[in-house]
Every structure is written in C-alpha cells, then in structure tokens.
Amino acid sequence: MPTVSEVEAIGSGEGLVDVNSWTQIEEFDYKSGEDFLNAPLISDFLMKGWLGSLAPDNQERVTQEIANLINEERHSAEFSLTVKATLITGKKG
C-alpha cells in the first residue's frame, strides 16, 4: 500500500492542485472467519495484495487457514480488523 505522501504525490503528478488528505482509523467487526473473508473490503481489495505473491493453487489453502485461525482465536467473540484509511482530494489544475 502506498504511503499518504506517495498518494498525495500521485495526485499532484496527475495535475491536481490544493491536494489535501485526511487519515482516520476505521474498525470493522466480523462474526466469523468466513464473514471476514467474504467482506468486500477483504475479498475484493486487501486479500488480493496479501495473497498476490502466492501461487494461485496455494491461495485457497492459505485463505481457509486464515478463516480457521480467526475462528479458533476469537473464542466466540467478534473478530475486529483496524484499518488506517486515507482520503485525498484535489482540484483539476
């Protein structure tokens, strides 16, 4: 994932002016490992980066093991994921 300064530089490099950014910590709660893995934030965004270095045939095995670990370690409580999210804005120059 790029840093805040890298994203701001990308915005400026694309011709945006008055580039501003806001960073906030967001917490997401999941009832199970399966709910975690099926959430769009996880399945469509984060997992692609996390598992990108694995061979495709190993990704399913690792994904299942992640679900198993979450289910074992959460002891019937919700599983929480904390994400530091940054939004940038700018104007066309």
Token pair for 12 = 């400026």
* Residue span of the structural domain in which 43 resides: 4-92
CA–CA dist 78, 73 (Å, integer) = 10
- pTM here is 0.72
- Tens-of-pLDDT digits for all 93 residues of the chain? 889 999 999 999 999 999 999 999 999 999 999 999 999 999 999 999 899 999 988 999 999 999 999 999 988 889 999 999 999 999 998
22 φ/ψ sector (left φ>0, alpha ψ -120 to 50, else beta): beta
Q: Identify the three-state secondary structure at position 87.
A: strand
CA–CA dist 63, 19 (Å, integer) = 37
Number of domains in the chain: 1
Residues 6+ apart with CB under 8 A from 42: 36, 81
